[in-house]
Amino acid sequence: MAFDDFISDCELIDLPMSGAQFTWSRGYSQSRLDRFLVCPRWLDSLLELYQKALDHTVSDHCPILLDPKLESWGPTPFRFDISWLQCPKMEKRLGGWWVSAKVDGPADVVIGSKLRLLKERLKVWSRDRNNEGHNRKRWLLSRIKEIRVAVEAGLASKEEVGSLKEEYNSMLLQEEISWRQKSRVKWISEGDKNTKYFHGIASAWRRRNRIECLRVNDSLSYNKEEISKEITSFFQRLFIG
């Protein structure tokens, strides 16, 4: 109980473990004695962090590995980020892309083709926007600090600091909305400015939903190619027959 209180007081997190359910065994007794406990700041810098139980033969304890690597399972599906709607003239930009996509054919073919073209436009725009946004946020913070010093020295006006802070807060709001959507948290009201919380929830969802192993042909497989093939085959049988 004292150790549990220590873990709670220090806000330590017990990460999901793959490869085995127990880390110690002797005779008929089994228990999970070995584990990594990490602080939230680790998860802020390493979004994908897992414990993995390794094979053991002689010792009663199996070694565990703290793995920050995330294997690529292929391209991620496209999702519309509702924070994009906070960007200036976004609706006009979307309308222009939709009109500029010239497609002929039946209505269903036209709509499907236009949506695919719009998706590709959004992917390119989002990638460029993210790169520019990171640089812009760093510049804004640096500039705000410089102007604050100048204001104290009587060499600049407070209005200039206010306009920069307004732009910076707008960028933070867009980031908050984006992480709220990824976290799937629906019950917190708008404007809570708690991006770190949403960031943690989204990371927890990714760790919980990750498939480390799957039963393939009556045996557990950790091979990502076999797992991907089995999942694809399952849904093909389910939807195509």
d(CA 196, CA 40): 10
d(CA 205, CA 48): 11
Q: Which of 43-57, 157-171, 193-207 has the lowest mean pLDDT?
A: 193-207
d(CA 147, CA 164): 10
Where residue 184 falls among pLDDT bands split at 50, 70, 90? low
Same domain assignment for residues 67 and 103: no
Please report, rounded to a whole number, the percentage of residues in the chain having pLDDT higher than 70: 77
Residues 33-69 have pLDDT tens digits of 888 888 877 776 666 677 888 776 667 888 888 877 6
Residue 6 lies in a domain: yes
Domain that holds residue 54: 1-71
Residue 12 has pLDDT above 70, yes or no: yes
3-state secondary structure 19-70: CCCCCEEECCEEECCCCCEECHHHHHHCCCCEEEECCCCCCCECCEEEECCC
Give residue 207's pLDDT: 65
Please report, rounded to a whole number, the percentage of residues in the chain having pLDDT higher than 90: 0
Contact 133, 172 (CB under 8 A): no
Same domain assignment for residues 161 and 226: no
Same domain assignment for residues 97 and 201: yes
Give residue 181's pLDDT: 62
Residue 217 has pLDDT above 60, yes or no: yes
Domain count, the chain: 3
Same domain assignment for residues 123 and 16: no
Same domain assignment for residues 234 and 135: no
Q: Which of 2-6, 57-61, 79-83, 206-210 has the lowest mean pLDDT?
A: 206-210
Cα Rg for the chain, rounded, in angstroms?
25
Residue 104 has pLDDT above 80, yes or no: yes
Residue 85 lies in a domain: no
Give residue 26's pLDDT: 80
pTM, full prediction: 0.40
